[in-house]
Amino acid sequence: MTRQTTLRTFLSCEHRYLLNPAASCDSDLELFTFLGILMGVAIRTRKPLDLHLAPLVWKQLVAVPLVPEDIEEVDLLFMQSLRGIRDIHESGVDEHTFAEIIPIESFETQSADGRFVPTCPGGHNIHLTFMNRTEYVESALQYRLHEVDHQVAAIREGMGWIIPVPLLSLLTAEKLEQMVCGSKEVSIEMLKKVVRYREVEPTDPLVTWLWSTLESFSREERVLFMRFVSGRSRLPTTASDMSQRFQIVKVDREPNSLPTAQTCFFQLRLPSYTGPDILADRLRYAINNCRSIDLDNYMLTRNTAEDDGDDEEEF
């Protein structure tokens, strides 16, 4: 499985993702099945995935039939085009001028991945006319409503290896997304509920400064902080679902040095900073510039640099 193949499995849609209808060969469907396995594991272990799927995908996964409004949410231009063809007579167009206005010649439409495909079997050979435009609109809409049925079935099959899939029909699309992906917001209050202090007291000014800094962070900064200390971007929806305690450790290092983290232990290690501004500055620098997790990438880069005779190291 290559990164290129995996990325072709999805199509971006306003920072969300749609399933790719063109990814339909056996190897592609195996990837969708594997995705389903990962989603099932996320539910079973309560370890959220940072998975930004479009709302209609979650709706399909809980076996709720799609409606035209679902397609409109991800492809407004497509639905506007269909309505324009259906209601074109209101603009004074008739059977004699229809072909001059509409560039489509047969029962073909644009799929979610941008390909032009037949809307029904033999659609290439069905000529689009003013008289059959309503049938065309309906067939094009039905194609888009069901174009990724095979991909959805593959994901559900993978989920079925881990969890009882029939129970999905008891969930809403929003609840399933929450179970797989956790909370969209990084809750500082939840972190406070599961924190464990080591070598430092809860009343220590260092701790007070840290919580104040985290509360002042933007949503994006909180996500970066989570990635820095845990390797993940999301928290479970409730504190009871947290499988690890968040650890704050005071370490004996230079007061101006950067904080470090051990993602395997959900641990943040802080030097004895002399003020809140220094703590905030060092923490922001660390979460924005740290490119490795538990030094894995650092060691790989270092070994490569040594082999090449290059002493440059990556933070």
pLDDT digit string (tens) for 23-65?
A: 999 999 999 999 999 999 999 988 888 888 999 999 999 999 9
What's the mean pLDDT when you consider all of the chain? Answer: 86
From the list 310, 291, 35, 308, the residue with the least C-alpha distance to 180 is 35
Residues with Cβ within 8 Å of 144's Cβ and at least 6 positions away in sequence, in order, are 71, 75, 78, 109, 111, 112
Q: With contact defined as beta carbons under 8 Å apart, do 281 and 257 qualify?
A: no
Q: Is 264 a catalytic residue?
A: yes
DSSP 255: T
Q: Which of 13, 120, 264, 290 is catalytic?
A: 264
> What amino acid occupies position 107?
F
Predicted TM-score of the model (pTM): 0.74
CB 267 within 8 A of CB 203: no
Euclidean distance between CA atoms 47 and 264, whole angstroms: 13
* pLDDT at res. 47: 85
Q: What is the pLDDT of residue 50?
A: 83
**Distance (Å, rounded) from C-alpha 237 to C-alpha 235?**
6
